[in-house]
Amino acid sequence: FGEALRPEFKDYARRVKANAQALAAALTAEGFRIVSGGTDSHLMLVDLRPFGVTG
């Protein structure tokens, strides 16, 4: 947990979140549906059923 206390880690976490939000926006623009409508963290659930992907 010591690494998480470093200022660099805070910046890294901010960039990870921003990248996830950009990815969610790009996927939405290409016709994918983000189940929650977007992301507030580094996680997202993409509904692939309309593309025939299951499992």
Query: How many other C-beta atoms lie within 10 A of the C-beta of residue 35?
Result: 9
Is the per-residue pLDDT at 54 higher than 90?
A: no
**pLDDT confidence of residue 8:** 95
1 — pLDDT class (breaks 50, 70, 90): confident
Burial (Cβ within 10 Å: 0-12, 13-18, ≥19) of residue 17 = middle
User: Each residue of 5-37: pLDDT tens digit?
Assistant: 999 999 999 999 999 999 999 999 999 999 999
**pLDDT confidence of residue 55:** 80
